[in-house]
C-alpha cells in the first residue's frame, strides 16, 4: 500500500523519514515552492530524541543544536520558582533535551529524504474517495494523484482536516507570542539552560540553540489578529520587559527587526477522532496545542514513530484505528495541560500564592511527570 503525506513541516518530514527507514511506500507533498529558513527555535525533549535516534538523525541534531541540562521557571530577576536539573532524565534516556533552530531541523530532515519522493509547490485543495477504495488527491496547479491512504500533516490550518472534519475549530488562548533568534553569547552559567520568566501577566523565555545563537519568546495578553509596525516592535518589546533582568532587553535588541515573528497562541479543540476510513491526521493537523509544555513538535514526532511502526508491523492493514488508540489519550492530556499551564502563567490575581506552591512541589513529583511524558513504546 502507498501512503501520501500532505505537508512537509516537522511532523510530515519525520513521518516521511520514518517511512523511508522502514521501507514503507510513500510520497510527500508540500505547498511551498522551496523550504525557506524561517521560524525560530524548537526544544526537542527525550521523547522526540528517541524517535530521531531510531531513524538515524540524532547525531546530526546534537551537532547542530545545544543540549539543555537545566529547566527553570523564574521571576523577572531570574530567581527560580521551579528549577529542574536534568541529570536523572539523562541517566534514564541517555540524553536530556536539545534546543535547535526549527529551520535547521527541517533542513536536516529534508536532506535525508530521497528528492524523487518530495514534491514541492504542490498546494493540496481537496480529496475524493473513489469507488475502488482509493483516494484521488487534487492540487492547486490542477494536477491529481491516486493513493491508497492519505496522511494529513498540514498543520493547525489543515485543509485536509477542514474537508475531513468540517466542524473542527481553532481556539485562541487570549495570548500573543513574539519570537526571535539573537546573535548573542550567553554566559557559561546560562548556555545549557532554559529559562522562562513569569512577570505580571507577561512572560519571557530563552535558551541557546547554537553557537552565538539564542532563541527567545515573549508572551502577553492581547486581542487576536493584531499586527506590529516593524519600525517600533523592538521599542514596544523592550518597554514591555523593562522591569525584567537586563539580559532580556539585550536579547531583544540583538535580534534583527525583520526576524522578530508574531503569532497568536492557539490550539485545536479536541477532535473526537483523527481519522475516517483511509485518511488520518497527525501532528498539528490532528492535535495542535499551545507551546507551554514545549511538546507541539514532540508529539508530532511521536506520531511519526507510532504510525510508521504500526504500518511496519501490520503492512496489509489500515492501521489508523490502532494508531489513534495508541496515541489519543496521551496527546489529549498534553493539549489540555498545555492550555492550563498558559492560563496559570498569566494569572492576574494570586501570583504570589502560585509561586509559593510551585516552589514547594517535590522534585520527585516533577521528575516523574517528565519521565512519564518522555516514555516511548517500542512496537516490535
Q: What is the mean pLDDT of the chain?
A: 96
**Can you give the residue ranges of every domain in the chain?**
2-66+102-170+268-344
For residue 235, pLDDT over 80 is answered with yes
Q: Cell 507570542 maps to which residue?
A: 177
For residue 380, pLDDT over 90 is answered with no
More confident residue, 35 or 183: 183
Cell of 133: 477504495
Can you give the pLDDT at residue 38? 78
Q: Can you tell me the mean pLDDT for 7-24? A: 98
CATH code for residues 2-66+102-170+268-344 = 3.50.50.60
Distances from the Cα of 214 to the Cα of 40, 177, 200, 205, 220, angstroms: 9, 16, 24, 10, 20
Can you give the pLDDT at residue 39? 84
Mapping DSSP onto H, E and C, the string for 186-232 reads CCCCCCCEEEEEECCCEEEEEEEEECCEEEEEEEEECCCCCCCCHHH
Can you give the pLDDT at residue 239? 98
What's this model's pTM, rounded to 2 decimal places?
0.96
For residue 37, pLDDT over 80 is answered with no
Work out the pLDDT band at 77, boundaries 50, 70, 90. Answer: very high
At how many degrees (to 10) do helices 296-313 and 46-54 cross?
40
For residue 267, pLDDT over 80 is answered with yes
Can you give the pLDDT at residue 36? 79
For residue 35, pLDDT over 90 is answered with no
Among the residue ranges 3-12, 37-46, 165-174, 190-199, the one predicted with the least confidence is 37-46
Can you give the pLDDT at residue 169? 97
- For every residue of 327-347, DSSP letters joined together read HHHHHHHHHHHHHHHHHHHT-
> Is the four-CA dihedral 17, 21, 22, 28 of positive or negative sign?
positive
Per-residue b or e along 200-213, where b marks 16 or more CB atoms closer than 10 Å to that residue's CB: eebbbbbbbbbeeb
Can you give the pLDDT at residue 94? 96
Amino acid at each position: 500500500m502507498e501512503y501520501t503525506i500532505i505537508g512537509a513541516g516537522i511532523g510530515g518530514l519525520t513521518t516521511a523519514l520514518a517511512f523511508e527507514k522502514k521501507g514503507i511506500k510513500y510520497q510527500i507533498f508540500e505547498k511551498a515552492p522551496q523550504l525557506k529558513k524561517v521560524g525560530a527555535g524548537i526544544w526537542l525533549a527525550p521523547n522526540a530524541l528517541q524517535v530521531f535516534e531510531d531513524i538515524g538523525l540524532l547525531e546530526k541534531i546534537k551537532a547542530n543544536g545545544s543540549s539543555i541540562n537545566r529547566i527553570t521557571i523564574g521571576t523577572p530577576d531570574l530567581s527560580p520558582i521551579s528549577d529542574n536539573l536534568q541529570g536523572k532524565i539523562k541517566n534514564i534516556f541517555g540524553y536530556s533535551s536539545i534546543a535547535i533552530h526549527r529551520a535547521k531541523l527541517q533542513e536536516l530532515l529534508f536532506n535525508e529524504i530521497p528528492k524523487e519522493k518530495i514534491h514541492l509547490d504542490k498546494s493540496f485543495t481537496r480529496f475524493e474517495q473513489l469507488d475502488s477504495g482509493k483516494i484521488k488527491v487534487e492540487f492547486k496547479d490542477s494536477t491529481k494523484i491516486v493513493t491508497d491512504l492519505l496522511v494529513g500533516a498540514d498543520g493547525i490550518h489543515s485543509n485536509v482536516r477542514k474537508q475531513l472534519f468540517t466542524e473542527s475549530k481553532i481556539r485562541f488562548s487570549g495570548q500573543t507570542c513574539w519570537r526571535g533568534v539573537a546573535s548573542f553569547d550567553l554566559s557559561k552559567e546560562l548556555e545549557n539552560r532554559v529559562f522562562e520568566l513569569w512577570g505580571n501577566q507577561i512572560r519571557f523565555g530563552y535558551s541557546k540553540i547554537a553557537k552565538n545563537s539564542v532563541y527567545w519568546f515573549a508572551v502577553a495578553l492581547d486581542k487576536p489578529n493584531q499586527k506590529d509596525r516593524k519600525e517600533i516592535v523592538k521599542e514596544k518589546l523592550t518597554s514591555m520587559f523593562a522591569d525584567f533582568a537586563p539580559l532580556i532587553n539585550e536579547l531583544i535588541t540583538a535580534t534583527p527587526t525583520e526576524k522578530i515573528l508574531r503569532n497568536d497562541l492557539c490550539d485545536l479543540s479536541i477532535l473526537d477522532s483523527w481519522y475516517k476510513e483511509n485518511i488520518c491526521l497527525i501532528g498539528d493537523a490532528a492535535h495542535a496545542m499551545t507551546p507551554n509544555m514545549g511538546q507541539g513538535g514532540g508529539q508530532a514526532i511521536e506520531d511519526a514513530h507510532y504510525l510508521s511502526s504500526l504500518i511496519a508491523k501490520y503492512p496489509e492493514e489500515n492501521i489508523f484505528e490502532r494508531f489513534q488508540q495508541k496515541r489519543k489519550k496521551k496527546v489529549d492530556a498534553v493539549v489540555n495541560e498545555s492550555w492550563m499551564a498558559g492560563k496559570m502563567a498569566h494569572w492576574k490575581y494570586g501570583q504570589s500564592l502560585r509561586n509559593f506552591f510551585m516552589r514547594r512541589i517535590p522534585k520527585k513529583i516533577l521528575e516523574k511527570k517528565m519521565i512519564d511524558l518522555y516514555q516511548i513504546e517500542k512496537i516490535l
